Amino acid sequence: MNFIFKKIRISDVVNKCSKTIEFSEYDNLITSENNSMGKSVLMKSLYHTLGADSAFDKNFYEDNVLFSLDFVYGENEYRILRFKDAFSIIKNSILVNFINEKCRPDLSLFFKNEFNISVYLRNRKNTTEIAPPAYLFIPYYLDQDRSWKEEQEPFSKNTMGQYEPISRSDLYFYHLGIYTSEYGSVKSDIDSLSKEIGNQKSELTKLDLEYSKIKKIFDNELIITDTKELESIYRSKSNEINALMHKQNQLTQQLFELDKQRTSCLLQIKSNKKIIDKIKQNRNPDSLVVQCPNCNEEFDVQLKNDVVNLYSIVVIEKENESLKLEAEQLEVEIQKIKQGINDLAIQLNSANDEANSSRTDYEKYVTRKALSSLLDKQLLEIGDLTSKISSNKAILENKKSYLVKLKEKTDNAKTFFCSEYTKYLYSLGINQFSSNDICAFKKLALSGSQYVRSTLALYFAFIKTKMKFNPDNFCFPIVIDSPREGEQDENNSSNILETILSENIGTSQRIVASVNAQKYISKETLNNVNVIELTGEQGHVMSREEYLNDENDIQICLSYFKRIS
């Protein structure tokens, strides 16, 4: 079945002006005597309304415009409304969908579910996804500004730049019916499986390295069997260490007390020596004789003092000898205790070594048990991961075999396309090329006025290929804007327009726009074409009068977008 455009209306809701044109079911020609009459705006609006982003002239403010396209598909009538990046979809006078998004995958899904048409392409993140609606329309639209001189990319570069060029060439096989949504799903599955297998292999490599590292440690560890004995030794040595430390603490306390006493003795001896020195220093060598008042006997007072001092010195020295003897005895005791402490330290070190040895052996045993458990776990993970990789590889190979089956069909389509492209190049007066220059679905790069005819040849070669390989599936209207680009002479202009309007394209609808087109088309051809001539003021395709005539319907259409802030 074909899509048939019935009517396009563009309404500037800010400046209150509008333009509507209606199409016949088959061939339509939009023309005018002068340029800048709005032909290209209307042509760009067709697929823009359906979700492509057309590259409008900077003087056309599409954000002010409500786009409305009526079309028929099978027995159903549709109207798609677009305002900014929002879409309202009406089927048989009933609103069935509202989509408000810039990337609009939901709009692509609507076309897939409603019309069974979709395109899946590989994005720049190397994953396959359903492509925006623009990719449904590319093979059917030649834009005045972007199609003739460049590759067939008629819409905004923001729309066209998100997919790999190799992947974009796949879209033609969707339109030829060779690729379906199943192909897109399989491609997406292959991408996901390939990525998953890659991740699984990386994880498997990591697990293998960890396993080898742990296995090496495991193999080098001492094998311990009598863990109870180790525990007994450790407990016994711990008790022994505690006892030794207790005894060591007692000896240390004794040492402290003895050293305190010895220090006290030494300090007292030192103090006594200072007293003796002081007594000796204070002795007066002169005699002091006094007479007793009672008996008149004379006494030497200084001699008496000397006797007293001498006695004091003797007493103090005796005390020092006793203190010195006591200090020496204390020193002997201190040395004995120090030796005891040193002996205990040796015993403690020995006991600690034995305890640490038994603990280290026990920890090795525990570590080995843990390593053994970890190795068992990793072996299970490695086995499970290996099984998953094998399973995914089998699924991947099965899905790849599906692609292999499609290759023969795509090769046949490419061959047929190249043959048709060559025929059209010759028919349009282009013969300076080699067959080796012809590539499937890729425009032959030519200079001068030939690039327009080369584009047209590629365009119709695709249409012919579609008629052969996919005659019964959908076809969007053939929309061609300004095909006489590139300063075509009168003969080439006539040849181009006659080819476009006379070429057999089956039951597909055809919409062509060209200035002064009637001048180059035969009356016989024109008799079969719905001619739509644009008149009025240059640069103003929309009019206030048409807006007023359709104002009620425009307001109803705008009401579907009230939810937009």
Does a structural domain hold residue 57?
yes
What pairs with residue 141 in β-bridges?
479
Does a structural domain hold residue 171?
yes
DSSP, residue by residue, 51-99: T--B---TT--GGGEEEEEEEEETTEEEEEEEETTEEEEEETTEEEEEE
Q: Indicate if 35 and 113 belong to the same structural domain.
A: yes
**562 vs 565: CA distance, rounded Å:** 8
Q: Rounded to 5 degrees, what angle do the CA atoms 387, 388, 394 make?
A: 95
Does a structural domain hold residue 403?
no
Dihedral of CA atoms 534, 153, 90, 1 in degrees, nearest 10, equals: 90
Q: Indicate if 143 and 232 belong to the same structural domain.
A: no
| Structural domain range at position 520 | 3-177+428-559
- In eight-state DSSP terms, residue 2 is B
- Residue by residue, pLDDT tens for the chain (565 residues) are 789 999 999 999 999 999 999 999 999 999 988 888 889 999 999 999 999 988 888 888 989 999 999 999 999 999 999 999 899 999 999 999 998 876 678 899 999 999 988 888 877 777 778 888 988 998 899 888 777 766 667 777 666 666 766 556 678 888 888 888 788 778 778 888 888 888 888 888 887 887 777 677 666 655 555 556 656 666 776 777 788 788 888 888 888 888 888 888 888 888 888 888 887 777 665 555 556 677 767 655 566 666 677 777 888 888 888 888 888 888 888 888 888 888 888 887 887 777 676 666 666 656 666 656 766 777 787 888 888 888 888 888 888 888 888 888 999 999 999 999 999 999 888 888 888 889 888 888 777 678 888 888 898 899 999 989 887 777 899 999 887 765 567 888 888 888 888 888 888 899 999 988 888 888 888 899 999 998 878 878 899 999 999 999 999 999 988 865 4
Q: Do 482 and 456 touch, CB atoms closer than 8 A?
A: no
Which domain-ending residue is among 299, 330, 356?
A: 356
Which domain-ending residue is among 321, 356, 391?
A: 356
**5 vs 14: CA distance, rounded Å:** 26
**201 vs 203: CA distance, rounded Å:** 5
With CA atoms as reference, report the closest residue to 382 among 213, 204, 198: 204
Encoded amino acid at 145, one letter: D
Does a structural domain hold residue 294?
yes
**Distance between terminal CA atoms of the chain?**
38
Does a structural domain hold residue 522?
yes
What does the block give as tokens for 558? Answer: 């705008």
Alpha helices in 123-162 (DSSP H): 134-137, 157-160
Neighbours of 318 (CB within 10 A): 10
Does a structural domain hold residue 44?
yes
**89 vs 71: CA distance, rounded Å:** 11
Q: Indicate if 167 and 29 belong to the same structural domain.
A: yes
Q: What is the pLDDT, as a whole number, of residue 165?
A: 62
Q: Indicate if 149 and 238 belong to the same structural domain.
A: no
What pairs with residue 77 in β-bridges?
72
148-159 b/e (C-beta count within 10 Å ≥ 16 → b): beebbbbbbeeb
**77 vs 175: CA distance, rounded Å:** 22
Neighbours of 240 (CB within 10 A): 17
Q: Indicate if 329 and 445 belong to the same structural domain.
A: no
Domain at 504, CATH number:
3.40.50
Neighbours of 235 (CB within 10 A): 12
Q: Indicate if 35 and 137 belong to the same structural domain.
A: yes
Domain at 340, CATH number:
1.10.287.370
* Sheet architecture: strand order including 3-12: 17-22, 3-12, 65-73, 76-83, 86-91, 94-100
Q: Indicate if 173 and 33 belong to the same structural domain.
A: yes
With CA atoms as reference, report the closest residue to 499 among 471, 458, 547: 458
Task: Determine the number of helices (DSSP H) and then strands (DSSP E) in the chain.
Answer: 14, 15
Structural domains in the chain (count): 2
Which domain-ending residue is among 307, 341, 356?
A: 356
Does a structural domain hold residue 289?
yes
Q: Indicate if 155 and 264 belong to the same structural domain.
A: no
With CA atoms as reference, report the closest residue to 64 among 41, 96, 95: 41
C-alpha dist (Å) from residue 325 to 267, 316, 317, 328, 332: 14, 14, 12, 5, 11
Q: Indicate if 235 and 156 belong to the same structural domain.
A: no
Q: Indicate if 170 and 251 belong to the same structural domain.
A: no
Does a structural domain hold residue 400?
no
What pairs with residue 81 in β-bridges?
68, 88
Q: Indicate if 135 and 246 belong to the same structural domain.
A: no
DSSP, residue by residue, 388-418: HHHHHHHHHHHHHHHHHHHHHHHHHHHHHHH
Q: Indicate if 234 and 163 belong to the same structural domain.
A: no
